[in-house]
Structure 1
């Protein structure tokens, strides 16, 4: 489903939007990505209000700097009923951007059919962005010049040859190697124990009182 161009900004601004990074962005969609619910933090970060986005495709906030292959991997996993962590650069109403790490609850009916998704997104430290951004730029350039299939082939080979892991494992490792959840719930560039976040990515999204 294509984004509604009328809602997208006419100009891209290379500037990060200001939002409360200690909070969690939450949205709920149907199986094809139509937005059914968004919280106030989503409004703040995206600069869209609920009236504008309810009923619209979630890709209305897709930033043109994001390679399509990342969303292909994400949606392939979600459609199979798998949670998936991804690092995403989103587009705001005014053409600015914000970076997040994602987590999903996949909702199913009694027969196991996927009925929708609840997505949670939280801010990342600059150190993670600096590591993932060059890869995304390379993938995007390949897509522009050689097409999406070539980008996918390079992406798969990169994961195999350079990081020896799946994309999700790569994302989680970047997260774990770069910081820990601070007392206010935001991720920070802080010392870590043994190269790992002590409480892990599930604690980062859900906290000790609501383990996943």
Structure 2
């Protein structure tokens, strides 16, 4: 199922204490989704199960950020990230995500478990500005070099702050 939805400016905001939960197989296909994920995404459980998790990817999200996230979890490490998602109706919602690999007996990921909660508004403002810069850089260099350019800019900004990615994300 390819996501051909036009984004709107309508924002949906999570309630404090709500958690969006999903599980995927190793290739990112949804194997479980909780009711809050269904509500926020606007898709039915049947539409979500078996579908790539990027069904809720918002076009404002830089490719480099998702590349970083997937690289991290494929290496068997958890990753925290602020993510702007898009619902079936084009509305958007921000989440603070924790994605954890589900490792098999050989230590390799056989799937992934993600829990998302309501992000702090201050963090969303910071990440919105950063993602806009990363996305502009991706668009400037074109699709072939987008991921590398985005990651290079992100690394440069983290170096200026003298913070690792994890330190930065957990500090805002």
2:149 corresponds to: 150
* Alignment gaps of 5+ in structure 1: 175-212
2:55 corresponds to: 60
**CA shift digits 1:129-187 (9 cap, x unpaired):** 111111100100110111312222111111111x212222211000xxxxxxxxxxxxx
* Alignment gaps of 5+ in structure 2: none
* Structure ID, larger Rg: 1
1:74 corresponds to: 69
2:127 corresponds to: 132
2:32 corresponds to: 37
| TM-score, normalisation: structure 1 | 0.76
Contact 2:60 / 2:131 at 8 angstroms: preserved in 1?
yes
Larger strand percent: 2
Aligned mates of 1:19, 1:166 — CA distance in 2:
28
Matches within 5 A, 1:1-212: 4-5=1-2, 7-9=3-5, 11-147=6-142, 148=146, 149-161=148-160, 163-174=161-172
Higher relative contact order (CA 8 A, sep 6+): 2
| TM-score, normalisation: structure 2 | 0.92
RMSD across aligned C-alpha pairs, in angstroms? 1.3
Aligned residues: 168
Please list every run of at least 4 consecutive aligned residues from structure 1 whose deviation after the TM superposition is greater than 4 angstroms: none
